[in-house]
Amino acid sequence: MSAELAWGRRYLMVPPEHFRVDYAINPFMDLADQPDPVCVRAEYDAIVAAVRAAGGEVVQLAQRSDSPDMVYAMNLGFFVELGGGSGVVLSHMRYPQRRLETASTDEWARSRGLCRWQFGKDGVGPHFEAGDAFAWRGELVVGHGFRTEELAVKNLGHDLGVTARGFRLVREGMYHLDLAFCPLDDMHALVCPEAFDADSAEGLLALVPEPLVLDVDEAMTFCANSIVIGRSVIMPACPDRVRAQLEAWGFEVVIVEVPEYLKGGGAIRCLTNPLDVRLGRDLRTR
């Protein structure tokens, strides 16, 4: 019998006061195809409502006017609950257009007494983006290749005192791990092997007792860019085959369509960042 994920019930989100496409740093961004502000807000509110309906909590961080991608809160940092407090490994964004977001995240974390780490700054030092990192089965699963550098995997493991396993992403449309991998519970996960090089695909599948293997067409619906609260999977889309398997495993599929956010290259997981990953419970310490 599989056990539910212990984390993923408390999320940081950034209200979309200034979301737009000002530049193109992934294959989905097109300056000629701007998000509709009214629809953007409606999609955001629908995610918040779905999280709360599933028993989750939302904490909000105000968006900077000069950081249109800050709405993709998953990339702001990797948050962990420590003994006696909390901390965050702040992202060191690959692209300079997103680096201002880190300063606001750092200020927000400091105001709440969180410990803070960062591996680099202003382009110096290894890049790390938290959309590449998941706590799963006691270890830290980390994607690298497009945004996060391989050296950051080692640094994450060392600084947090946990086992961090790196998996190389090679398909451009899946530039963060959260587009190709979604843990569901302690036995099941969505995995798109074609997002990785051969060794990484084999290694990641070996970690998952019962994977739901996605082909590229399924993964490009952003179905892996979902969040799980108990047995509810909040998804931007769900191909029929994927839905059938999830329901057979006892999950409830909750669809919240986010076409405006897809214009920036992100969906449900990108817009939500778990605040309740706990060292010693979700990540075994060495």
Residue 285 falls within a domain, yes or no?
no
Distance between CA atoms of residues 194 and 190, nearest Å? 12
Residue-wise pLDDT for 238-265, tens only, equals 999 999 999 999 999 999 999 999 999 9
Write the single-letter amino acid at 31.
Answer: L
Please tell me the predicted confidence (pLDDT) of residue 234.
Answer: 99
- Domain annotation covers residue 2: no
Number of CB atoms found within 10 A of residue 239's CB: 15
Task: Please indicate, yes or no, if residue 260 is contained in any of the structural domains.
Answer: yes
Which structural domain, as residue segments, surrounds residue 53? 10-274
Amino acid at 275: L
User: pLDDT band at 85, cuts 50/70/90?
Assistant: confident
- For residue 188, being part of any structural domain is answered with yes
What is the pLDDT at residue 120? 87
Which CATH number goes with the domain that contains 112? 3.75.10.10
pLDDT-derived band of residue 184, with 50, 70 and 90 as boundaries?
very high
- In this structure, is residue 284 part of a structural domain? no
For residue 26, how far is the Cα from the chain centroid?
Answer: 16
* Residue 280, in any domain of the structure: no
Sign of CA dihedral 201, 172, 97, 149: positive
- Which three-class secondary structure state does DSSP give residue 111? helix
Helices of type H across the chain: 37-53, 100-111, 150-160, 198-207, 216-219, 240-248, 259-262
pTM (2 d.p.):
0.97
Helix (H, G, I), strand (E, B) or coil at 191: strand
Considering its fold, how many domains does the chain have in total? 1
Q: Is residue 279 part of a domain?
A: no
Amino acid residing at 242 = V
Sign of CA dihedral 98, 179, 223, 135: negative
- Report the share of the chain in percent with pLDDT over 90: 96
Q: What is the mean pLDDT of the chain?
A: 97
The predicted pLDDT at position 139 comes to: 98
pLDDT of the residue at 62 = 98
Query: Where are any strands of DSSP class E within the chain?
Result: 10-13, 57-60, 77-82, 85-90, 115-117, 133-136, 139-144, 164-168, 181-183, 188-191, 210-213, 227-229, 232-235, 252-255, 273-274
Residue 12, pLDDT > 80, answer yes
Average pLDDT score over residue span 62-70? 98
Q: Does any domain span residue 106?
A: yes
Would the pLDDT of 84 be above 90?
Answer: no
